[in-house]
Structure 1
Amino acid sequence: MSRSGTAKYGPDCRRKSSPTSATRLEKLHKKLKRSRKPGKQRGYGRFLAFPDSGDVTLDDAKIKAAAQWDGLHAIVVHGADELEAQDVIARYHQLWEIEACFRTNKHDLKIRPIYHWSPRRVRAHIAICYMAFCCLQHLRKHLDLLGHPMSPARIRNELNALQLSILRHKGTPDRYACQAMPRSMPDASSPASA
């Protein structure tokens, strides 16, 4: 499988997300002053020097070497030689949608923990969660089209507030369903939401 890459440079990226920015290094200096044994500094451990004297310090050579890469964003792609650099970057930016779907399954639909032990029931649990996810995405899309975007949590709260009353006709065996719509849910039949 072939491998290709693309890179982009942005000075605004350099200012915002630079690990060697002055404010981030100042915070690291303050941490080192508070504790001479900071342990592993997540992400910044590569800038620390551990001399024989025992005091942990910042290594200026490592900081300068890392600063030359500030603002550079590189993406390595496997098996996509025919894609242009702009297409690769556009597809990379679409990853947030996939991550949002996993987050919805994990937190809003609570796909885990699974309290089943037989493989058939585990598969059924995951299939039900996936169907619920598809229904939720379908509902979110239609709410967006109606001009009422809602989060999964808000949709769940609104649906929990729905009430349905069954009315029986005294003279006949007929029954009628009367639905009470919450105030914040859009009514598809009203002209304001069309």
Structure 2
Amino acid sequence: YHEVCEAHLARIVRVDLKSELFSYSIDEQALTHAQLMDGKLLLVTNAADLAPAQVIERYKSLADIERGFRVLKSEIEIGPVYHRLPDRIRAHAMICFMALILYRVMRSRLAASQTGLSPERALALLRRIQHHRAKLPDDKTIEGVSSMTAEQVDILSAIGASKPDKNRQLTFL
């Protein structure tokens, strides 16, 4: 009886607990229903105003949302932060949302330009670009951006960012 229950077959296999020996019967109607439903996912919703196609569309979008949280935790590395004030909770959620949007825009632009790079790899290559500022003995300051490789220039072009000049740093990195 316990094995039948653990296998979630109690609706189909009816075990006679009053019998001295183990005996059971098969509920043919329940078996037919189980065979009909085999391999299908049943979606239940409390939103009565949605059409079946809309329910399926929303269910499929959950996977995209879960992928977004996985990206936030792994690639973007936003770890758990414990807030208790509502304004700080909202601010943290907004930062996470903006980071995810930037990640997805970057991913789609890199894919559209067929660079073959992931956002993580592209950012790793762009991080090598440095802004230098040196103060000379006569109190003169010179500054500039390190020379860029062709790959870095291609990445900037692919994501729609302009090449930094000597007066601007890449603030998004």
Q: TM class by shorter-chain length?
A: 0.5 to 0.7
Which residue pairs with 2:72 in the alignment? 109
Which residue pairs with 2:101 in the alignment? 134
Deviation at 1:133, TM superposition (A): 1.3
Deviation at 1:71, TM superposition (A): 7.4
Contact 1:114 1:122 in 2 (8 A): no
Contact 1:37 1:56 in 2 (8 A): no
Q: Secondary structure at the match of 1:64?
A: helix
Q: How many residues get paired?
A: 145
Q: 2-side partners of 1:120 and 1:146: how far apart? A: 39
Contact 2:110 2:155 in 1 (8 A): no
Assess, with a 3 A threshold, how the Cα gap between structure 1 residues 89 and 189 changes in structure 2: closer, same or farther: same
Contact 2:11 2:27 in 1 (8 A): no
- Any residues of structure 2 matched to 1:64-143 within 5 Å, and which? 64-69=32-37, 78-79=48-49, 88-89=52-53, 92-93=56-57, 95-105=59-69, 107-110=70-73, 113-143=80-110
2:119 pairs, out of 152, 155, 172, with 155
**Paired letter, 2:92:** H
Q: Secondary structure at the match of 1:164?
A: coil
Greater Cα radius of gyration, structure 1 or 2: 2
* TM-score (structure 2 length as normaliser): 0.56
Assess, with a 3 A threshold, how the Cα gap between structure 1 residues 180 and 174 changes in structure 2: closer, same or farther: same
TM-align CA RMSD: 4.4
Q: 1-side partners of 2:152 and 2:11: how far apart? A: 51
Identity across the alignment (%): 19
More strand by share: 1
Assess, with a 3 A threshold, how the Cα gap between structure 1 residues 46 and 113 changes in structure 2: closer, same or farther: farther
